[in-house]
Structure 1
């Protein structure tokens, strides 16, 4: 469970964060001051603990005693603080199926693997077991904020919100809306029933965190094919009625899915300018600056332009796009069109709970796009880390609160430790006995970060904080 911090905290060491899409800023021998509410109140370069205590702590009006101030040192070689990762798209209810997708493509995979598992989580004991594990697992990989899909079941969805709050993970939690093209045992009975259940879940989630400091409900039409036109229209009306609510759904993940959308929602029936996938969401009022669109693999020029004009965002899910053979999203193209992008693990279409894994796969997928003739498509280490933090924060509407180490931001952070090889090459020092990343001592800091991105895993995630609270510590 999360360990509340009722004290002011002083973090000392190296701090690395994205300041631009293609730029990381390195702060070495620095001090970051975090107040008891979990906000960064001061950042000081070239500052050791003595100076921090004697000169800066009194200036902040803090008590200087050990009982009043928590000091966290991240000073080992190959050790640094990094912003927490933001997972902009994952299905908490599908976590037991990670790695299980056989030879399926999207629509077959849903019926064969996904719907039966999700439906079974109406069993509260089973849901608690699954949700507790996925929260703890994602936290252990440095995910401080996650945009979760739950199930159609209201109690199960509410339980996920309860557990996120209990464990201290920042989360968007959505009850899945679907009233067609799903098994009879797992879908809403009618548009009215779906909307009523959605309102019920929203009310509950807002009651457990009225200030929305950690947990927020999110409108969640699963994807257009599983929602009838009346349900889509009702959700659009609800989005207009509750302008503080984010919206999450899927778009253009698979070519057969796109064809199905055009068949189900011809432009004559929606009033859209065209029958494109993005046009359907727009026609029903679901394409807004609060909308998170997962995948966007096969978007057309006109769709990307429409999405950019509405300021909707895209969650890039390279792992699942490859695993389910959906395709390779053109992230550089989307960014150049003005579409904000973040990263999603998309479990269980994706097989890993790690946003770091999503970052490395985003880099690799971009190289496959480049091999198709678009050389500038390649994403750098700096760029995929931006997508994993600041980009993701903007996707979920929290860019003013998380993703960096500026004053005023919440302290959502992870302490990363890399294995330093001893002089004789017989082991590692600095108590970093686990992990695939070996540091020899001659690497530059950009080299260290690149080695982490391409070789790192949860063994390198030593501690994780959300809003100043320690929520994970590797023993």
Structure 2
């Protein structure tokens, strides 16, 4: 069914810069049938839009769908989840006392292998797409499994349900169970080619879904496989690449033993052509200064996954340090190492983890002077984590300037957020106010802080991707 032109009315909030939110109140945004923003008007209601904006756009009143935010609601860009494993969604919250490598063998590989069953894969993938959409995630960078039909199914479901996605068939030919690995580098490349071809045929313009070259991580790939994946990436210069890096101390030691000729974990990827401006590196918890500089020089990006890093006791990534070195960062839920499919929860955890980073090595308190100021600067603000969740994420997944904000020419990937309004009797007006209570005297920055710290999917009322309504809370 073809989209209609759409007029959105109300308050719009988006990131103007890393540390600055822009608030557009009593505003109107017009979105055409392709899902593109064609007008942003301040101090504009429905009457003014029809009288002055529609004629300029050549729109007739009858062909426009009007969506007006109610009292206490605002429009915000859709969240971008830069790293999650769709195949692991049934295991959210299940990691026991494991650390990364034990967790993979105990929980992860058996579940992923089981999704070669088409019915089970459809059940799991449909649910994770619907779940992430319900949390306002309009774009997700997904890892699937080594199974080609299962991976292709995930891409097909993203298309049919309307979620923007990067979908990657996982490549791994060593250090995994015999029942769940590619039999050789050559079979891994052949299977990856087959999945790329399917996804490109399903969405030739890559308007919603793109294949992504996906070495699981260096330890699970032989040197031959990494080299061939680098060659494949060079052969497809528009395709993104995703993998893991420096998540866990034991993992880093393992990489050092497997690739002794390379100076670092980052150097392993760089040597084979997998460290590029199209590369998404998940975690980056323990990067050295030399590695961070190499990542920045190559233009590779980092997906910060604070929930997973805490849950698996991997460590605390130094996001401010990475940003200061010129490394672009976004947020990832890292389901199921992360226990929630909500990017808002990841934003909340990113704030908290940054505070722990600022306290590292400070047994005697924050102290005075320059060191105290440096530690305080490590702490991320509400505005900054919302930037990572939207515009930062867009840059990480290769969609900068296309999604993540409300500028002219950008695509309408957005969510309508509603916060609970407390009345004079102390009751919340309307259903599904969630845990965010707004009394009416809060400033807009205070409301946004309340949303980040207390919000959940109950506050996400509607979601659009490329102008198409893909979720509505009933």
Q: Does 1:471 align with 2:470?
A: yes
Q: Does 1:359 align with 2:347?
A: yes
2:47 to 38, 50, 53: 50
Determine the structure 2 residue equivalent to 1:435.
434
Q: Does 1:283 align with 2:278?
A: no
Determine the structure 1 residue equivalent to 2:368.
none
Distance 1:302 1:23 in 2: 30
Q: Does 1:12 align with 2:9?
A: yes
Distance 2:50 2:421 in 1: 30
Q: Report if aligned partners of 2:421, 2:433 keep a CA contact under 8 Å in 1.
A: no
Determine the structure 2 residue equivalent to 1:394.
395
> Secondary structure at 2:425's aligned position in 1?
coil
Runs ≥4 in structure 1, deviation > 3 angstroms? none
Change over 3 Å in CA distance of 1:159–1:433 after alignment to 2: closer
Q: CA deviation at 1:164?
A: 0.2
Q: CA deviation at 1:432?
A: 3.9
Determine the structure 2 residue equivalent to 1:84.
78
Q: Report if aligned partners of 1:420, 1:432 keep a CA contact under 8 Å in 2.
A: no
Q: How does 1:189-208 map to 2 (within 5 A)?
A: 189-208=183-202
Q: Report if aligned partners of 2:3, 2:467 keep a CA contact under 8 Å in 1.
A: no
> Secondary structure at 1:37's aligned position in 2?
coil
Q: Report if aligned partners of 1:220, 1:249 keep a CA contact under 8 Å in 2.
A: yes
Per-residue Cα deviation, 1:323-382 (whole angstroms, up to 9, x for no partner): 000000000000000000000000000000000000000000000001115321100000
Q: CA deviation at 1:5?
A: 5.2
Q: Report if aligned partners of 2:137, 2:343 keep a CA contact under 8 Å in 1.
A: yes
Q: Does 1:110 align with 2:107?
A: no
> Secondary structure at 1:186's aligned position in 2?
coil
Q: CA deviation at 1:55?
A: 1.4
Per-residue Cα deviation, 1:252-300 (whole angstroms, up to 9, x for no partner): 0000000000100111xxxx4x2x0000000011000000000000000
Distance 1:237 1:424 in 2: 66
Determine the structure 1 residue equivalent to 2:65.
70
1:236 to 230, 233, 236: 230
> Secondary structure at 1:206's aligned position in 2?
helix
1:177 to 171, 178, 184: 171
Determine the structure 2 residue equivalent to 1:136.
130
> Secondary structure at 1:459's aligned position in 2?
helix
Distance 1:433 1:99 in 2: 24
> Secondary structure at 1:17's aligned position in 2?
strand
Determine the structure 1 residue equivalent to 2:370.
none
Determine the structure 1 residue equivalent to 2:415.
414
Q: Report if aligned partners of 1:206, 1:212 keep a CA contact under 8 Å in 2.
A: yes
Q: Does 1:40 align with 2:37?
A: yes
Q: CA deviation at 1:100?
A: 0.2
Structure 1 length-normalised TM: 0.96
Q: Report if aligned partners of 1:85, 1:143 keep a CA contact under 8 Å in 2.
A: yes
Distance 1:398 1:432 in 2: 35
Distance 1:320 1:150 in 2: 18
Determine the structure 2 residue equivalent to 1:248.
242
1:223 to 214, 217, 223: 217
Structure 1: unaligned runs, 5 residues or longer: none
Distance 1:5 1:151 in 2: 33
Q: Report if aligned partners of 1:5, 1:470 keep a CA contact under 8 Å in 2.
A: no
Q: Does 1:264 align with 2:252?
A: no
Structure 2: unaligned runs, 5 residues or longer: 363-374
Determine the structure 2 residue equivalent to 1:166.
160
Q: Report if aligned partners of 1:5, 1:469 keep a CA contact under 8 Å in 2.
A: no
Q: Report if aligned partners of 1:317, 1:358 keep a CA contact under 8 Å in 2.
A: yes
Q: CA deviation at 1:6?
A: 1.6
Determine the structure 1 residue equivalent to 2:424.
423
Structure 2 length-normalised TM: 0.97
Distance 1:33 1:215 in 2: 24
Per-residue Cα deviation, 1:119-156 (whole angstroms, up to 9, x for no partner): 00000000000000000000000000000000000000
Q: Does 1:326 align with 2:314?
A: yes
Aligned length: 461
Q: Report if aligned partners of 1:14, 1:75 keep a CA contact under 8 Å in 2.
A: no
Q: Report if aligned partners of 2:283, 2:304 keep a CA contact under 8 Å in 1.
A: yes
Per-residue Cα deviation, 1:192-226 (whole angstroms, up to 9, x for no partner): 00000000000000000000000000000000000
Determine the structure 2 residue equivalent to 1:448.
447
> Secondary structure at 2:61's aligned position in 1?
coil
Distance 2:161 2:3 in 1: 16
Distance 2:297 2:468 in 1: 38
